Structure 1
Amino acid sequence: RSYYSIIEVGGMNFRVALDTASSDLWLASSACTTETCNAIPRYPLSYESPSFAAVNGNQTSFNASYADGTSSNGFIARERVTIANLTIPDQTMGIITDSNVTLTDRTTGLLGLGFPRLSSVNQTVTNSTPFLVNLAQRGLLEYPLFGLHLTRNTSGTISLGAIDASVVIQPANISWNPVVQFAPFASESNVSSYLQWAIPLGGFSVNHTRLAPMPTYTNVTNNMSIALIDIGTPGLYGPFQDVSRLFSLIDGARLVDTSGQWAIPCDTSVPISFTFGGVSYDLQPYEYIIGPAAGNPNLCLSWPMAAPLSSDGIDWQIGASFLRSVYSIFSYGINRKEPPMIGFYSLRNQTAAPSPIDAVSSIFEFISGISTVATTLPNFPLPTPTFTTPPYAFNTSVPTSNGGIVSSGLATSTYRPVLGGPNGVNASAIPTISPKPALQTLILTNAQGLLTTSTKTLEEPTVTLALPPGWNAASRPHIDTFAIFLVFALSCTRLVL
């Protein structure tokens, strides 16, 4: 599944998948007639939105490529973009005319939440900043951060400019991690800067037996393993040298695909954990098991998977399987004042670990509610896969740091730092937002004079996707109406995903 939000572009509503591993906003347009585009609502070029502004006569190319080999291509333009009550009237974005990217849940495109350096639009068009960074650079957020609360079976939330007070009960318990700087590419300036939402991984464990990561580029990263925190990744990926050692500690685990997939007994009860900033976060089997194999329902495919080595030095991708166990906060940092940070607030009851019996019960309850994974498991041991280490992509002569102060590319310096000031983190100063209740409790007196209590679900406003103002939905194919839940508080915004 993908996690998405609803944004307004040119007065029209669209669902966009959220991605912390990219920085650009793009929408599939009516000019894209591929099979994948025809299945989704699209930005209608025929509407001729009055807020649309061409860039170089629509001749500046936009290209987005992904690790699975898919891509989206088109041109760069400017449009009025709004998320809840926050608007950028001239946001640069990609208008897609050709794509083979499969979008689910009626999403039209993608909203990248990363740093400007990662943006292809930012590298191509002057004065082009990714949408959320643009909000922070214009001082439109209460604080330059966003918070994510992901769930497995229900709607999650994204809070812009503040953290969700209904989830984060004790802000002082947030554990903060400095974001890693990356050296420049050969063609860039000789200054390190922020590129990805990546932080040091301190270790990983199986049933509390801790293992130290083995970084791919030990000399370059000073023996530090780097993890990308990625909402767009469904599970967990790591280097073979780490993943194989992790599964060696799970009884009955075996490699079932040379791509790096392992299977484990479905009744596995041991937790795995990842350590960031000295704090370990447990995942129970129902959180890291993918599902039972169709050919052998007693064996379940499992995260993490081993992935090919990456030239950027990122060893691990930490996706939704982990992020559902925490409330995560991504702070962009403040120019000349505060570095970018990622905060984790555990959603787990820290005082009571589940017993093995409870863990097995939870996994079987989880498995009973999902479909088997269509796969054929080998009945013989597989050879150890080999992954070639590519040349390191960055300039190794330029020093890097974790949590360094930089002068540009982050939020405007008019913000007052609360996460990295001279006195450290001031948890009580982090802005919060409280959602409106989804249920309303009614206490009434009946005809007999007795008090009765009832509840009702509060109605939510609805939006129609990809419908231009004044147009009739009946004349537009692939139009759907959905409920959206928005909460406003100053410049803080909370949306249901």
Structure 2
Amino acid sequence: MVPAVRLLYLSGFLFSFATAVQLHLTAATRKSHSPEAILDNVDDLLYFVDVSLGGNNFSVLVDTGSSDLWVAGNVPGTKNLSVLESLGYAIGNPITGYINTARLDFDGFSVEDQVYLLVSVEDAQKTSFPQGVIGLGPSASSFIRGSLGNSNSADPPLDRIFQQNTTTPSYMTLLLSRNPSTEAISYQSSGQLTIGETIPKLEAVLDAPKLPVLVDQPIHQHWATLLDSNGIIGPDGQIISTTTTIPNPSEGSSEQLHVMFDSGFTVPQVPGYIIDAIYGRIPGASFIEDGTKLNTSLSYSNFWRLPCDYEVNVSFIFSGQEYPVAPLDLNRDMNLQDGDGENICMAFYQTGIASSASTLSSVGALDMILGMAFLRNTYALFNFGDFVDGTTSSVGNPYIQLLSLSNKHQIHLDFVNARLGGKDSTGTQAPLLPSPQSHPDGEPASGSNDGTSGGGSVTGDPSNDNSSSPSRPSVFAAWMSILGVLIFGVC
């Protein structure tokens, strides 16, 4: 995870499931008193949740963009299946470990013989999440499951839970908190993850529009849906025209972008022309090709630097519902100064993937990845429907529901308090420029980066035993060096 490109890929070794250690599919049980799965917020950059394997606790990254569980450390009673998997990063050394099974306890559920990847502590400490990752995506994208013959006994944790608790609704919900120590903002409740139930007082998410999950790229099944046609409201209050770059999309019109929701991505990835429409018209904004020229710790390239006191407002529209994004999620204070002692703030939505032959084969048919800086503004429900391994089409199609949590008045006040010392001067801030500013090369900003992102999403074909894939845009490593964030020590 760094401002450049990070990719998590897995290479599975050929494995004969019939001759391997038998995985016993034992019922997952619900404890009578379910503890809340509270999320630990690391400076609004990563979110972790506790899981227990073999009785030992691990603080793992919450990642809706991948579908496998891996941990590093001691797991009492674990069973090694002698099947080697390798997790490699575009930056840094690859992580290698063996597929194991152990008892999993997670959010009040218990699963016997849950498959997971056990890696060495030394290898894990070279990543941004030294205790592990729990993938919460569809099982079709599970590399471990593919390596073990696609048996339902090799399914990811959530599938196992839903299969064996038929009275539990097959959905999970995710609430990402905002860290009040990062900016001077009003208090928010703790982030939480729930399985089969909603958080009290947020039950209205069940009445939100059901956004169908796109299934036109089954090899790369993600929590993805369609944005409404021209479904972005820019800083001037006007819609931004949108056009998908996916050739011959099987779902949606040419004006509808294919959007993935990924809790493992710190910085949302958005097409360049949209980034320019959002940030390029801001007075005083400048396009920076090399962040280290501003501050040697800012190892980021090709981004918009913004005046820290300029309020930016953007909304996304899904199924006719507007979802405002907090200005503090659009304009990020880096807690760094340039050579003149001026604070450095930057656009926190960046240009990422663009559909092409290579990205379609490695990532899937996507135009945007809306990560943490979007999800913090919503309460999200992910209904697995017939994604759950072993279910039939009669179960119903998977869908996503989003409840907006960003009250426009409150997110404005948060910006005023954090950036303007509590004195609202936004009414007199300079008006937007008539058109986006030029770049040094005379072209619209591409907004690329050169590090890795907060996320563990997996690319490549999970059914291919020797798959590899190109780098995935990512940002966390740079944030780690910039902010000096220390993630939880390994058990």
Q: One fold, TM greater than 0.5? A: yes
Contact 2:217-2:365 at 8 Å conserved across structures: no
| Aligned twin of 1:316 | 368
| Aligned twin of 2:197 | 162
Contact 1:77-1:92 at 8 Å conserved across structures: yes
Q: Which of the residues 124, 132, 137 maps onto 1:109?
A: 132
Change (3 A) 1:82 1:359: closer
| Aligned twin of 2:113 | 90
| Aligned twin of 2:289 | 257
Give, in whole Å, the separation in 2 of the partners of 1:212 and 1:83.
43
Give, in whole Å, the separation in 1 of the partners of 2:241 and 2:92.
32
Q: Cα offset for 1:12?
A: 1.2
Give, in whole Å, the separation in 2 of the partners of 1:15 and 1:204.
35
Q: Which of the residues 78, 81, 88 maps onto 2:104?
A: 81
Q: What secondary structure does 2:239 align onto?
A: strand
Contact 2:139-2:155 at 8 Å conserved across structures: yes
Give, in whole Å, the separation in 1 of the partners of 2:490 and 2:223.
34
| Aligned twin of 2:431 | none
Q: Cα offset for 1:253?
A: 2.7
Contact 1:174-1:343 at 8 Å conserved across structures: yes
Give, in whole Å, the separation in 2 of the partners of 1:354 and 1:96.
41
**In the alignment, does 2:249 pair up with 1:179?**
no
| Aligned twin of 1:226 | 258
**In the alignment, does 2:280 pair up with 1:248?**
yes
Give, in whole Å, the separation in 2 of the partners of 1:358 and 1:343.
26
Instruction: Name structure 2 gaps, 5 residues minimum.
Output: 1-41, 180-188, 291-300, 387-391, 423-437, 449-459, 462-487
**In the alignment, does 2:157 pair up with 1:131?**
yes
Give, in whole Å, the separation in 2 of the partners of 1:283 and 1:115.
26
Matching residue's letter, 1:313: A
Q: Cα offset for 1:129?
A: 0.5
Between the two proteins, the alignment pairs up a number of residues equal to: 349
Give, in whole Å, the separation in 1 of the partners of 2:205 and 2:47.
24
Q: Cα offset for 1:69?
A: 6.4
Q: How does 1:390-405 map to 2 (within 5 A)?
A: none
| Aligned twin of 1:20 | 64
- CA deviations on 1:58-77 (whole Å, 9 max, x unpaired) are 1x121234566664221111
Give, in whole Å, the separation in 2 of the partners of 1:136 and 1:478.
29
Q: What secondary structure does 1:181 align onto?
A: coil
Greater Cα radius of gyration, structure 1 or 2: 1
| Aligned twin of 1:99 | 123
Q: How does 1:438-457 map to 2 (within 5 A)?
A: none
| Aligned twin of 2:15 | none
Q: What secondary structure does 1:301 align onto?
A: strand
Q: How does 1:427-442 map to 2 (within 5 A)?
A: none
Q: Cα offset for 1:209?
A: 1.5
Q: Which of the residues 213, 237, 240 maps onto 2:242?
A: 213
| Aligned twin of 2:316 | 274
Greater fraction of residues in helix: 2
Contact 2:172-2:383 at 8 Å conserved across structures: yes
Q: Cα offset for 1:137?
A: 2.0
Change (3 A) 1:83 1:359: closer
TM-score scaled by length of structure 2: 0.64
Change (3 A) 1:478 1:235: closer
Change (3 A) 1:230 1:79: same
Change (3 A) 1:152 1:67: farther
Q: Cα offset for 1:115?
A: 0.8
Q: Cα offset for 1:119?
A: 0.8
Identity of aligned residues (%): 23
TM-score scaled by length of structure 1: 0.63
Change (3 A) 1:361 1:227: same
- CA deviations on 1:69-101 (whole Å, 9 max, x unpaired) are 664221111111111431110111101136366
Give, in whole Å, the separation in 2 of the partners of 1:9 and 1:346.
34
- CA deviations on 1:356-414 (whole Å, 9 max, x unpaired) are x8744443459xxxxxxxxxxxxx953246799xxxx99xxxxxxxxxxxxxxxxxxxx
Give, in whole Å, the separation in 2 of the partners of 1:68 and 1:271.
34
Contact 1:327-1:344 at 8 Å conserved across structures: yes
Q: Cα offset for 1:141?
A: 6.3
Give, in whole Å, the separation in 2 of the partners of 1:69 and 1:182.
33
Give, in whole Å, the separation in 2 of the partners of 1:251 and 1:316.
26
Give, in whole Å, the separation in 1 of the partners of 2:330 and 2:284.
16
**In the alignment, does 2:342 pair up with 1:297?**
yes
Contact 2:224-2:261 at 8 Å conserved across structures: yes
Q: Cα offset for 1:327?
A: 0.7
Give, in whole Å, the separation in 2 of the partners of 1:387 and 1:265.
17
| Aligned twin of 1:9 | 53
Matching residue's letter, 1:231: S
Report the RMSD for the aligned CA atoms in angstroms: 3.2
Q: What secondary structure does 2:210 align onto?
A: strand
